[in-house]
Amino acid sequence: MSFQSGRVFLHWNYYIALEQDLAKLSRYIEFTEGNFSTYSIELAHLLLAASSEVDVVMKELCSILSPNDRRRNIGDYKRVVERGLPRVVGCQNPYIFGGGFKNKHIYWVATS
């Protein structure tokens, strides 16, 4: 998949870049349960980058769903998204990289 230009595609392009980095990493670390305890600087970098992007996108989504609500942390995001898009929480993830994960559901564990 290629990059696209314009404000609308900003987050999508970043997602594509992260996905490509993860695909490269899979050449060195097989994504299986036996490797869940594997640590590397590259894994830490990807985790932090992906987490940061989720934070940015969730803030944007919450500002669309409920512009006047507080959205300082993941608990605030959860409250706004549960109210605005209740089917998202607990929904089945349609794509898991490599198919190696047992839990294919998105569960929000943060407390409100």
Question: How many whole angstroms separate alpha carbon 72 and alpha carbon 46?
Answer: 23
Mean of the pLDDT values across residues 40-63?
Answer: 90
| CA-CA-CA-CA dihedral for 86, 90, 94, 99, to nearest 10 | 170
pTM equals 0.69
Q: How far is CA 62 from CA 50, 51, 57, 75, in A?
A: 18, 16, 9, 12
- The percentage of residues in the chain with a pLDDT greater than 90, rounded to a whole number, is 23
For residues 104 and 58, what is the distance between their CA atoms, to the nearest angstrom? 20
